[in-house]
Amino acid sequence: MDMAKFKSMFLSEAGEHLKNMSAQLVTIEGASDDRDRINSLFRGAHSIKGMAASMGYEKMAELAHHLEDSLDHFRQGKPISPTDVDRLLDGVDLLEGLLEDISQDLPEREIADFTTRPVDQKQSVEDQPPAAAANPVTHYLQLILHDNVVSPAARLLLFSKSLERLGTIDRLVPSLEQIMNGQEHRSLQLSLQSDLTAAEIEQAFQDYPEISQLSISSEPPAEERRKDDRRSGDRRQGDRRAQSLTAGTVRVDTNLLDQFINLTGELVTNRHILQTALAEQRWNELNDGLGQLGKLVKNLHGQVVKVRMMPVSSITERLYRVVRDLSRKAGKEVALKVEGAEIELDRAILEEVADPLMHMVRNAVDHGIEQQGTVQVRIRRQRSHVHILIKDDGRGIDPRKLRERALEKGLISPKQAETMSDMNALQLICLPGFSTTTEVTETSGRGVGMDVVKAAVEKLDGILQIDSALGEGSRITMKLPLSVAIIRILLIRCNDRLMALPLSRIQQTHQIEREEIQSRGRQLLIQLKEEKIPLISLRKSLHMPVPPATNRVSLVVMELFGRKVGVVVDQIVGHQEVFVKKMPAPFDRLPGTNGGAVLGDGQVVFILDVQGFLGGRR
């Protein structure tokens, strides 16, 4: 019964080993005398072999053993060629594929193609066959139930359902309909196309005392190779993140657990203090107790956040491989440098930025670097934020071309194109629809454009900054909060309703006189220092009644769709920290809110996503 528990641990540990192996393999080229690295690779393969064997995953154990053998040769001093690295990487890929099968309760895929491939035979990234085209075998099964089995028809239906999970069922006698009609049958005959061996199928039904007889006979493998979309084709780096980041288990330092216990103890004491103080109506003590409670909760939050933290390396490790494959393919020489990968971020944030980060690195290799260069990913902690900088020393982005392009696509007007600063022109690449299939190369064309990158960063309450100079390369920075759950909000009132805006999105707040508002056509504007910024009314945007104008107007200046906008609200109430609660499905799909929060007095406020609810009408 505990296998499920071990399995998740197995998945997460094996996944970690594989990630390390893949990272080390990429950096081993040109350093083949690095004994430590080879030893560590060897240990990785060895550990996986041991774990897989004890869990009964035979193919995975066999493959790990195979890799361990090859690594042993290198340990003995055999030099490692780039072809060897390719082959080892393929092996690690295949192990990851097996791990995925296991995590999805699928039969392990075939590995014979790999293990029987001659070691010297070069198989490059491009023409690698589908990781494991399986060779299904047809088995003929007969299964007879014991006489005393209750509800035999339902039992047979369950069996045929389990068999369906092992392969494709054919020629079922009695037919599924006959079984479902509840006719009294106690035996089942069928042929099953499956990747499993007869012994493996038998194993699967070992624990069924309801079966009195099970016979499996097989014929020579069918000639036809099964085409299975899920297993063939391009499912390389892109899919891997999900496994490591969303794995349900987290390893927690036992020191942290001790601190949780200590904090819990203090909270219990605190509760007694408060109770006593209340019962005896000693207000000073009650007040002190509440102060202490505040501190404890803050401390607890800090500790919980720590548990959710993971090093950024969990999403940067795979970049080495991406850059290596990509530059080999494009015939470029690109080095990747990652700095500060040990800095930690909330796993939920890492999950969201993993794909955007990969996309930007791909872009840098693909479009930025010309022949030879360096892509840098630099991670820095800046107070409550983490900055992730993606920098290349390539050709840079030409703002003039961006303007022309946006004009061509009708994304901006000729006048806008003329007056737009270079800095603002760079932001154009984030407009939806800006990048098109014509410029998307095979490698970058994964359906993630810069608009998606920007949206992902902003959804996390972060900021995306783009900077580039022709001939000097580009710098793109993602400024991200450390954690998602607790944020600072600005409370505003509109139509007698309290609402919240995330403070990080707000640039300024202002009280202005009505006379200061100017109009240009239907657009209202306000002059703030040197800038004219457009105004929008929150009431109008939310389809609330608009009352007669007052003299003083409260204004919240935010960046929306890449430009400054003044949002007119009834009243600015103040700011505070809140714990953001995601809306339950299906409400989480409503555009316009990023969840809600409960205020100290029990009031519920929605956290507005102004860009979200304006988005549809733009």
Partner 1 sequence: MANRVLIADDAQFMRDLLRDIFEQAGWDVVGEAENGKQAVEQYKLLKPDLVTMDIVMPLRSGIEALSDIIAADPGARVVMCSALGQESMVMEAVKAGARDFIVKPFQQEQVERIVQRVMA
Please identify which residue in 4, 119, 279, 549 interacts with partner 1, judged by CB under 8 A: 4
Please identify which residue in 53, 125, 144, 157 interacts with partner 1, judged by CB under 8 A: 157
Query: Does position 291 bind partner 1 by CB under 8 A?
Result: no
Please identify which residue in 79, 209, 410, 586 interacts with partner 1, judged by CB under 8 A: 209
Distances (CA, A) of 552 to 247, 510, 548, 569, 611: 53, 10, 12, 11, 25
Please identify which residue in 180, 290, 470, 546 interacts with partner 1, judged by CB under 8 A: 180
Q: Which stretch binds partner 1 (CB under 8 A): 2-10, 107-115, 213-221, 320-328?
A: 2-10
Q: Please, which residue, 153 or 484, has the CB nearer to partner 1?
A: 153
Residue partners of 297: CB distance under 8 A and separation at least 6: none
Query: Does position 586 bind partner 1 by CB under 8 A?
Result: no
> Residue 542 in contact with residue 529, Cβ under 8 Å?
no
Q: What angle do CA 270, 271, 272 make, to 5 degrees?
A: 90
CA 2, distance to chain mean position in Å, is 29
- For residue 599, which phi and psi values (nearest 5 degrees)? -85, 170
Query: Does position 9 bind partner 1 by CB under 8 A?
Result: no
Q: Can the peptide bond before residue 174 be classed as cis, meaning omega within 30 degrees of 0?
A: yes
- Least distance to partner 1, CB of residue 589, Å: 17
Query: Does position 208 bind partner 1 by CB under 8 A?
Result: yes
Q: Which stretch binds partner 1 (CB under 8 A): 156-164, 266-274, 278-286, 406-414?
A: 156-164
Query: Does position 150 bind partner 1 by CB under 8 A?
Result: yes
Tell me which residue of 426, 384, 374, 385 sits closest to 405, measured CA to CA: 426
Q: Which stretch binds partner 1 (CB under 8 A): 23-31, 91-99, 202-210, 382-390?
A: 202-210
- Assigned token pair, 472: 């000097």
Please identify which residue in 182, 221, 265, 471 interacts with partner 1, judged by CB under 8 A: 182
Q: Please, which residue, 201 or 555, has the CB nearer to partner 1?
A: 201
Q: Please, which residue, 151 or 372, has the CB nearer to partner 1?
A: 151
Q: Which stretch binds partner 1 (CB under 8 A): 148-156, 278-286, 339-347, 405-413?
A: 148-156
- Least distance to partner 1, CB of residue 9, Å: 11
d(CA 499, CA 604): 9
Q: Please, which residue, 7 or 235, has the CB nearer to partner 1?
A: 7
Q: What secondary structure does DSSP assign to 260-328, as a single string?
A: HHHHHHHHHHHHHHHHHHHHTT-HHHHHHHHHHHHHHHHHHHHHHHHHHEEETHHHHHHHHHHHHHHHH
* Residue 51 burial class via C-beta count within 10 angstroms: exposed 0-12, middle 13-18, buried 19 and up: buried
Query: Does position 447 bind partner 1 by CB under 8 A?
Result: no
Query: Does position 56 bind partner 1 by CB under 8 A?
Result: no
Query: Does position 147 bind partner 1 by CB under 8 A?
Result: no
Q: What is the DSSP secondary structure assignment for residue 361, as one 8-state letter? A: H
Q: Please, which residue, 155 or 405, has the CB nearer to partner 1?
A: 155
Q: Please, which residue, 149 or 296, has the CB nearer to partner 1?
A: 149
- Assigned token pair, 202: 């038998």
Q: What is the DSSP secondary structure assignment for residue 581, as one 8-state letter? A: B
- Least distance to partner 1, CB of residue 2, Å: 8
Please identify which residue in 54, 124, 151, 269 interacts with partner 1, judged by CB under 8 A: 151
Q: Please, which residue, 206 or 255, has the CB nearer to partner 1?
A: 206
Query: Does position 540 bind partner 1 by CB under 8 A?
Result: no
The identity of residue 115, as a single letter, is: T
- For residue 434, which phi and psi values (nearest 5 degrees)? -75, -50
Q: Could you list the residues that contact partner 1 (CB under 8 A)?
A: 1-5, 150-151, 153-154, 157-158, 161, 180, 182, 207-209
